[in-house]
Structure 1
Amino acid sequence: MPEVIFPGPEGRLEGRYHPQKDRDAPIAIVLHPHPQFGGTMNNKVVYNLHYTFFKMGFTVLRFNFRGVGRSQGEYDQGVGELSDAASALDYLQSMNQNAKHCWVAGFSFGAWIGMQLLMRRPEITGFVSVSPPANMYDFSFLAPCPSSGLIINGTGDRVAPPADTHSLVDKLHEQKGITITHTEVEGAGHFYEGDHMNTMLGAVDEYVRRRLTETTR
């Protein structure tokens, strides 16, 4: 899988780009956890989400936010990271101008950034938010949430407690015109250790494939 360097708001950003042979393939970006707590694009959840989307026929890009790995810049409280994500999507779209579907997936901090990106980019047709930290960050900007998506969390998550995720999902369920699918992985912690990883990825695979089938009918 080719390493790529592309321009970001504060200098270059480092990524991994995995194209399909099909020029019309859907595209997805995958966003990593908090940079100040060891989050990188090679986080296990992010890495596995990347390959799950690729196996479903997506052209996929994951990348390091500013200040992580070889990406230039410094941590910016989520503001700059959102700009980084927008630059990554610009880059991905420039390489895949025939793509009919555009998805964003994020894990933890990356889920928060991904859902903000969703609000700014109407071309995003679906999202996957894994363990969104609704206890740490304000998700009230999702009013209304512009597209349907999957929110998934573990029942044993101590970093982003399930009760806060339930509150977020309940608020989104009240909105019309979109469908928020909520899946919980029984016993899983924040990082989906052991067999919980396969359970989580299986739920993502099933959801995204169903959505793609619905849109191609």
Structure 2
Amino acid sequence: MPEVIFPGPEGRLEGRYHPQKSKDAPIAIILHPHPKFGGTMNNKVVYNLHYAFHDMGFTVLRFNFRGVGRSQGEYDQGIGELSDAASALDYLQSLNPNSRQCWVAGFSFGAWIGMQLLMRRPEVAGFISVAPPANMYDFTFLAPCPSSGLIINGEADRVVPPADVTGLAEKLQQQKGITVTHQTVPGAGHFFENGMDEMIGNVQDYVRKRQTEPHIR
């Protein structure tokens, strides 16, 4: 898989780009956990999400936020990281102008950034939000949530209490015009040391189902 360097708001950003042969393949970007707590694009959840999307026929890009790995800049409280994500999506779209669909997936801090990106980018057709940190960050910006998606978390998550994720999902499920699916993986912690295969399987089942129902927003 080719390493790529592309321009971000504060200098270059480092990524991994995994294209499909089909010019109209759907595209997805994958967003990693908190940079200050060891989060990188090589996190196991991010890595597995990347390949899960590629296996489903997506052209996929994951990348390091500013200040992580070879990406330039410094951590910016989520504000700059959202701009990084927007630049990554711009870059992915520039390489795939004929893509028929766009998805965003994020894990933990990356899920929070991904949900914000939804509000900026109406072309995003679906999202995967893995262990969104509803106990740490405000998600009220999702009013309304512009696209349907999957929220998935571990039953034994000690970083983000499952009750907080359930509360977030229930709020979003009340909105009209979209469908937010919520799933909990039994016995799984925040990093899915147990339950990784089940989590990835659920993600793939959800995305494949959505792919056969393109009318769902």
Provide the rounded CA distance (Å) in 1 between the counterparts of 2:213 and 2:140.
29
Structure 1: segments with no counterpart, 5+ residues: none
CA RMSD of aligned residues (A): 1.0
Q: Which moved further from structure 2: 26-35 or 164-173?
A: 164-173
**Which residue is equivalent to 1:124?**
124
Structure 2: segments with no counterpart, 5+ residues: none
The AA in structure 2 aligned to 1:215 is P
**Which residue is equivalent to 2:202?**
203
The one-character-per-residue Cα deviations of 1:39-63 (angstroms, maximum 9, x if unpaired) are 0000000000000000000000000
**Which residue is equivalent to 2:211?**
212
Provide the rounded CA distance (Å) in 1 between the counterparts of 2:24 and 2:181.
26
1:216 CA drift (Å): 8.0
Task: Describe the SS at the equivalent of 2:124.
Answer: coil
**Which residue is equivalent to 1:92?**
92
Question: TM-score scaled to structure 2, two decimals?
Answer: 0.98
The AA in structure 2 aligned to 1:190 is H
Provide the rounded CA distance (Å) in 2 between the counterparts of 1:80 and 1:101.
25
Superposed counterparts of 1:170-181, under 5 Å: 170-181=170-181
Superposed counterparts of 1:47-126, under 5 Å: 47-126=47-126
Task: Describe the SS at the equivalent of 1:125.
Answer: strand
- Point out 4+ residue stretches in structure 1 off by more than 4 angstroms: none
Superposed counterparts of 1:17-32, under 5 Å: 17-32=17-32
The one-character-per-residue Cα deviations of 1:34-88 (angstroms, maximum 9, x if unpaired) are 0000000000000000000000000000000000000000000000000000000
**Which residue is equivalent to 1:158?**
158
Question: TM-score scaled to structure 1, two decimals?
Answer: 0.98
**Which residue is equivalent to 1:135?**
135
